[in-house]
Structure 1
Amino acid sequence: MTLSLALACLWAILGGLLAMLPSRDNHWRLAYALIATGLPLLVYVVWQNGPLVGLVVALGAASVLRWPLRHGWRWLRGRTLRWKARHD
């Protein structure tokens, strides 16, 4: 196992452990920290292991960060629908 995959596994375990902690802000600060550390780690995984392994790791990261992704998707969809309504 390469160093990047070992770090990605530790990142996923840390994300699961952080999700178990009580939080007043619904874990948003922790999610931002996981995103900030996960993106460079994903680039490292792709660089060291190739794009197919990087895709698998990205899907695993998406399962850990499913709520921020869901909120981001809704925000982006709302912005594009408003933009489309203004320009039609």
Structure 2
Amino acid sequence: MSWSILLAAIWVICSTVVAMFPMRWQMKPGFLLLVAAPILIIWIGYDYGGWISVAGLAAFVSMFRNPLRYFYRRARGFETEKLP
């Protein structure tokens, strides 16, 4: 098993654990997971090919659609809902 797949599996376990936290505890580790995911997806794509990266990117966007939507709206200057 390659290092990229091993680290991706650890990422999945960590994201599952973070998802069980109360919302106020999810922010910092969730942001770190959000930043680490594209790096892992690119690394897996380098090891196994582009189609695997596309599938990983689709899964990533599906999982993090609300934070990504928030950051997109904030970057574009639209009003965003206040986070608790």
Cα distance in 2 for residues equivalent to 1:63 and 1:14: 17
Shift of the alpha carbon at 1:34?
A: 0.3
2:59 pairs with 1:60:
yes
Moved over 4 A (4+): none
Question: Which residue of structure 2 aligns with residue 84 of structure 1?
Answer: none
Please say which structure displays the higher CA radius of gyration.
1
Q: d(CA) in 2 for partners of 1:37 and 1:73?
A: 18
Cα distance change, pair 16–62 in 1 and its aligned pair in 2 (3 A): farther
TM-score, normalised relative to structure 2: 0.70
Query: Aligned residue for 1:45?
Result: 44
The number of aligned residues is: 78
Aligned-pair distance for 1:2?
A: 4.2
Q: Secondary structure at the match of 1:56?
A: helix
The 1:66–1:9 alpha-carbon spacing in structure 2 relative to 1, beyond 3 Å, is: farther
Q: Is the 8 A contact 1:15 1:64 kept in 2?
A: no
2:8 is the alignment partner of 1:8 = yes
Q: How many Å apart are 1:67 and its aligned residue? A: 2.0
Q: Deviations over 1:36-88 (max 9, x none)?
A: 32222122111101111001111112223222111022223x43x7xxxxxxx
TM-score by length of 1: 0.68
In structure 2, the partner of 1:19 is 19
Name which structure has the greater RCO, CA cutoff 8 Å, separation 6+: 1
Give yes or no for contact 1:31–1:65 (8 Å, CA) kept in 2: no
Distance 1:40 1:5 in 2: 12
